[in-house]
Amino acid sequence: MTSSTSIQRRRLLQGAATAIALPSFAALAQGPSRTLRVGNQKGALTVLKGRGTLEKRLAPLGVNVTWTEFNAGPVQLEALNVGSIDFGDVGEAPPIFAQAAGAPLAYVAATVQRPSAEAVLVPKDSAIKSVADLKGKKVALNKGSNVHYFIVKLAEQAGLKYSDLNVVFLAPPDARAAFEKGSIDAWVIWDPFLASAELTLGARILADGKGVVGNRGYYFSSLPYVAKNADVLKLVVEEIDKLDQWAVANKSAYAQELSTLWGLPKPVVDVSVGRAAYGTAPITKAILAEQQQIADTFFELKLIPKKINLLEAAGAGIA
């Protein structure tokens, strides 16, 4: 190789390295990019991911969206606490435990109330005819979940103490197995497990959440992320609400998408989707007061180690 050839090659390599190291004028003009790391369970956010509409909506803001799937709300919130995600969806109970554990949780938005989506189930031929009949009976539920609060309030309405129930803590798959075997008297559960037990096991609803609890879902972020990215989160909530409104008008199509995601027969999902309520709500003092009641109840039951103030998780402010 000649000396002039070596010099030319070195210049080419130096030029390529410079081109890689320096950002383009276009990138400089757009400013630094931001990232939204979404933690999703198999549900509405996963449907949104599949459609790609969130990425398109956030592109003008220079926001890159990444997705991580979780199998439960508590795991999502652990990820938030260690700084692995910026946004997610969850039920009523997990954020209370997260805040009690010191996570920098911020409530971003809430779903509308969905009281029909959780219920107490008994076998179709059970002698249990009223909530009062649950006294002394073996009642299975998922510890520290939305249905845990539900059964406490339901018992109170029926003139029972929580201690009057023989509560057994079981995760949904284990509770279903126990229900099928007849080793428990009642099962407190939410959709789509609820709809599945109704259709495939012939289970009977003893009482649902109507008139007892609100049963909202929540969209959350971290306090530091909200402080710097309120514009991003505003658009995210708008896209979620658009999906909700589409679901209202296209329940069968939505049920088909969820059926595929959940691996459940469409008739089961049709029941779940049909009785669900759709739409998002801004975080208000009234909504946080609902959560405060749940948190206070969990503290009384010694499920959380200390009292918490829900207003500390108000994020960008409340109405």
Check: CB of residue 134 under 8 Å from CB of residue 180.
no
Instruction: Assign 314 a pLDDT band (cuts: 50, 70, 90).
Output: confident
- Tens digit of pLDDT for each residue in 174-231? 999 999 999 999 999 999 999 999 999 999 999 999 999 999 999 999 999 999 999 9
Strand order across the beta sheet in which 34-40 lies: 63-69, 34-40, 87-90, 218-222, 105-111, 280-282
In a domain, 10, yes or no: no
Give the residue from 155, 173, 208 where a domain finishes. Answer: 208
Question: Do 51 and 77 sit in the same domain of this protein?
Answer: yes
Which residue carries 């809430």 as its tokens? 110
pLDDT digits (tens, 9 = 90+) for 65-97: 999 998 778 888 899 999 999 999 998 988 999
How many domains is the chain partitioned into structurally? 2
Considering the domain architecture, whether residues 237 and 308 belong to the same structural domain is answered as yes
Q: How far apart are CA 123 and CA 204, in angstroms?
A: 6
Whether residue 138 sits in one domain with residue 184: yes
Residues 184 and 225 grouped into a single domain: no
| Domain of 147, in residue numbers | 118-208
Mark residue 188 as left, alpha or beta (left: phi above 0; alpha: psi -120 to 50; beta: remaining): beta
> What is the chain's alpha carbon radius of gyration, rounded to the nearest angstrom?
24
Closest CA relative to residue 80, chosen from 58, 59, 60, 108: 108
CB under 8 Å to 46, separation ≥6 — which residues? 40, 69, 261
Do 304 and 222 lie in a common domain?
yes
Neighbour tally for 300: CB within 10 Å: 12
Q: Give the CATH number for residue 223.
A: 3.40.190.10
* 285, pLDDT greater than 90: yes
pTM: 0.83
Do 132 and 101 lie in a common domain?
no
Give per-residue pLDDT as tens, 42-54.
889 999 999 999 9
Asked, for residue 168, whether it belongs to a domain, the answer is yes
Q: Looking at the structure, do residues 41 and 172 belong to the same domain, yes or no?
A: no
315 exposure class (CB count in 10 Å sphere: 0-12, 13-18, 19+):
buried
C-alpha span between 204 and 186 (Å, rounded): 10
Domain co-membership, 225 together with 103:
yes
Bridge partners, residue 287, by sequence: none
- Residues 123, 267 share a domain: no
Asked whether residue 124 is assigned to any structural domain, the reply reads yes
